[in-house]
Chain A
Amino acid sequence: MKSHAPTARLNIAFRGLALTSLRSVGWQGIVDETMVWKRKAAYVDLTTGKIAAKPIPGEVRQLFLGGRGIDMHLLYNHVKPEVDPLSPENVLFIGTGLLCGIPALGSGRCDIAAKSPITGGVGDSNVGGFFAPELRLAGFDHLAISGKAEKPVYLWINDGNVEIRNASHLWGKDTFETQDMIRDDNEDEEVKSLVIGVAGEHLVRFANIMTGMKNSAGRTGMGCVMGSKNLKAIAARGTTDIEFSYPEELLDYCKEMNEMVMKTRWARAQSRWGSLIIYSNTNTTGLIRTRNFQLNRLDEGEDLEPENMDRYTIGMSGCYGCTVHCRHRYVLREGPYAPIFGEGPEYTSLGAFGTMLDCKKMETILVANHMVNKYGLDTLETGGLIAWAMELYEKGIIDEKDTAGLKIEWGDERVLFELITQIAHRRGFGNLLANGFKPAIAKIGKGSEYYAIHVKGMSNLHSDERPTPSLALGIATSTRGADHLRSRPAIDLYGLPEELLQEIYGAPVSSDYTSYEGKSRMVWWQELLYTVTDSLGICKYQTVFCAVHAPKWEEFSKLIKLATGMEFTKAQLMEVGERIYTTERMFNLRGGFSRKDDTLPERYFKEPTPVGLPIAKGKKIDKEKFEKMLSEYYALHGWDENGLPKKEMLEKLGLDKEPSYMV
């Protein structure tokens, strides 16, 4: 083991906490001295090669749980506002959830954070697969990686040891090859790795981090941060125990949880068709952006119906500890791009490479999905940028002189594949797109901004939120830029009885999804729920995402108790969610974001949806109602009219003494 004494800088790993006493946040829980207090974080400085391992203080657990929560606490305290996301001073955080390893709810989620090279704000992406449990079995719950290696390296983490290893032979390899080569190098098939592809090496701003065939920490450009550190991979192999406070009761309760999830129609549909199942309803209704943002329904899009995956699928695939198994394992046996074995695609890729580009063939999606996974690109950002470029080309804002001779016309899959390759390798026109929306808009100018469907610089997925104010508010307030996984109250689309909605959300909420009434509450509540879900390291699909009667606060409390001995009431867990979300808010605010950034692309307010069922047609977002909804949302979080956390809220959350450049 290459181990050194901690440096002065590493010593401030958990600074800020010394200033916060648990009593000040009203902590009443009984602390059981179990394994969770012994678990460690490793701090790696790639510039100096120094590595230090330290326990994660019990206070941090109680205030931030784990996963995204602890990552956000560390990000806030380590990365100052002036830090360039691609500089050695940016820090990459890898976090396993508090419940990582339990045999339920897809407990293998891994949270990856840094300052985002796309938005300049919170960078945070959550990935399933098998890496997080392997890291925990290898003895670490969290990693903080700073500095920059002189030449390509990978981290090797094995049963309490951390090593920085040469990765020159891996540089230039795709994400699948890299994982196989690391397994071969270590002569161990069980090694799990987080890796970047050529896109991350070329510092494509929206490069992702991959593990397995399909699991990707896609959003906010975390692969670009890895590339900037010359860090090709993080590999883990562990054989140590993950201990729990009440193992027998936990085993029984996990079974109950899995049954609860599998009783929902959503989970059963997912088991069969994956998230593609969403397409049929949303496309029929008119909730899918098509030709970038010109239409809200893809006509003649039958080939993209989920049933057609049966032509290619050889079975489903699950992440660690998951009974839902929502990923297709697919094989493309014929055609110019065969043979391909891949996993996925998600509903979002169906939009990114299908509806948004007017591509209508399932095979196009399968090839593009495989390509972005191989190169290590975020599917949503890639599709969003190409759709934007196609509209600019159509409108004559760019022409063949800008695109190096490429005719980027709607529905042309060859153009799509060419542009994916160009972006990943930073060649030709792709080099411009590889910088992401904000730099590309600055370069092209000529009113191109109007056509870019992004929030805070990050592309939205292919959903059209104009008929659905709750979903629209969620992408506007998301701390990481346009994104559905920060808050999406997808159950709003079900038209549930208002009594049930009141029971869930704790106050009146309209059951009409085109209404603005109570929707701020929905978004706020879902933000807190998903924040806690990501901090526990479990899957959003197995909580209130698309299923109403899925595990939530009460079930989380019991799982935490059985796994760690820590006790939380529902209110306390919601407060933890509030603390973490407010920490993210403060990170963004001190980086220069404000209320004006919590908005939607102009077109949402100006252009009514042209097609769709009567409920979805002719809809746009009412600016005045939207602003009112935003103010209500701030108030629910305990933030003022400008979106700044109020002093009393910061005191309540124990964040008032955090080193802040804002307050």
Chain B
Amino acid sequence: MQKILFIDAEKCSGCRICESVCSLYHEKVCNPSRARINVAKWETAGIYVPMVCQQCETPICEDVCPMHAIKRDEKTGAMLIDYDLCVGCRLCLMFCPFGGINFDAKTGKVLKCDLCGGEPVCVKFCAPEALQYLKATTINLRKRRAAAEKFSDLMKKMLAVV
């Protein structure tokens, strides 16, 4: 069963550990501008949203790539860049609606999340669990259960009254 990198932005504390471990794991340096994940922040409103490639089912990056350099990894489901084919035209960056593709100004390459081969490092480091790596089938059940909690609480109260 493939898993999905699931973002629960409400839990994000904005610490940016995900950015720094991502660049440390992939590039061997700490540099958020070379990370595959970033936290979009509205500091004066207290809103933090981690943003990363969604590994779409019908990926636009794959469609627009003139070199057919972006392909799905059958094992993890991640869309991977084949750097032997990539010419660095950045069309994927232009068309991705989520900003899932980053551009590394130092090497001239485009970067994107590869799910670390099936064990995302950012998830391991995320203390508030804003980033989770979940089976695709359980994501929905989790969300439903969270939503149902409101009803559940209400029903418990009603039953207690009766």
Contact = CB atoms under 8 A, between A and B. Distances in A.
B10 A315 contact: yes
Contact of A255 (B28, B46, B125): B125
B104 to A, nearest CB: 10
A212 B40 CA distance: 15
Nearest to A331: B46
A89 interface: no
A315 B16 contact: no
Nearest to A211: B43
A38 B75 CA distance: 42
A322 B15 CA distance: 6
A141 to B, nearest CB: 14
A247 B24 CA distance: 7
B49 interface: no
Nearest to A322: B15
A319 B32 contact: no
Interface in B106-144: 106, 121, 124-125, 127-128
Nearest to A261: B127
A387 to B, nearest CB: 30
A325 B30 contact: no
A532 to B, nearest CB: 21
Interface stretch (A55-63, A236-244, A400-408, A547-555): A236-244
Contact of A213 (B10, B25, B43, B106): B43
Contacts of B32: 137, 190
Contact of A243 (B29, B46, B124): B29
Given A103-B30, A137-B32, A239-B31, A321 B25 contact: no
A241 B105 CA distance: 11
Contacts, number: 106
B45 A341 contact: yes
A243 B27 CA distance: 10
A130 interface: yes
B14 to A, nearest CB: 6
Given A247-B24, A321-B17, A323-B15, A241 B30 contact: yes
Given A137-B32, A241-B31, A320 B10 contact: no
A314 interface: yes
A258 B127 contact: yes
B46 A247 contact: no
A176 B24 CA distance: 31
A317 interface: yes
A472 B105 CA distance: 53
A103 B20 CA distance: 6
A242 B16 CA distance: 15
A371 to B, nearest CB: 15
Interface in B47-95: 48
B41 interface: yes
Interface in A203-242: 212-213, 239-242
B81 to A, nearest CB: 21
B4 interface: no
A317 B128 CA distance: 10
Contact of B21 (A103, A176, A314): A103
A343 B46 contact: yes
A325 B41 contact: no
Nearest to B18: A103
A277 interface: no
A197 interface: no
A39 to B, nearest CB: 13
A318 interface: yes
A102 B30 contact: yes
B156 interface: no
A321 B20 contact: yes
B34 interface: yes
B44 A341 contact: yes
Contact of A101 (B14, B30, B121): B30
B12 to A, nearest CB: 8
A327 to B, nearest CB: 9
Interface string A313-353: 01111111111110001010000000001010000000000
B102 to A, nearest CB: 11
B46 A250 contact: no
B30 A244 contact: yes
A240 B31 contact: yes
Contact of A318 (B14, B25, B40, B121): B14
Contacts of A315: 10-11, 13, 46
Interface string A99-110: 001111000000
B15 A244 contact: no
B15 A248 contact: no
Contacts of B17: 103-104, 321-323
B13 A318 contact: yes
Given A255-B125, A321-B16, A212 B31 contact: no
A254 B121 CA distance: 12
Contacts of B40: 189
Contacts of B121: 251
B28 to A, nearest CB: 4
A239 B105 contact: yes
Nearest to B127: A323
B31 A329 contact: no
B9 to A, nearest CB: 10
A212 B43 contact: yes
A611 interface: no
A262 interface: yes
Contacts of A180: 44
Given A317-B13, A321-B15, A241 B21 contact: no
B28 A248 contact: yes
Contact of B20 (A101, A248, A325): A101
Contacts of B106: 241
A560 B28 CA distance: 16
A241 B107 CA distance: 12
B15 A325 contact: yes
A324 B34 CA distance: 25
A330 B41 CA distance: 16
B29 A319 contact: no
Contacts of A470: none
Q: Which of B13, B25, B33 has the most CB of A within 10 A?
A: B13
B138 to A, nearest CB: 24
Contact of B29 (A242, A318, A324): A242
A320 B15 contact: yes
Interface in A299-317: 314-317
Contacts of B46: 213, 314-315, 317, 329, 331, 341, 343
Contacts of A324: 127
A179 interface: yes
Nearest to A177: B44
A532 B25 CA distance: 27
A440 B48 CA distance: 43
Interface in A90-149: 101-104, 130, 133, 137
7 contacts: A102-B30, A103-B125, A243-B29, A244-B30, A318-B13, A322-B15, A331-B46
Q: 3 shortest A-B CB distances, which residue pairs?
A: A318-B15, A323-B127, A325-B13
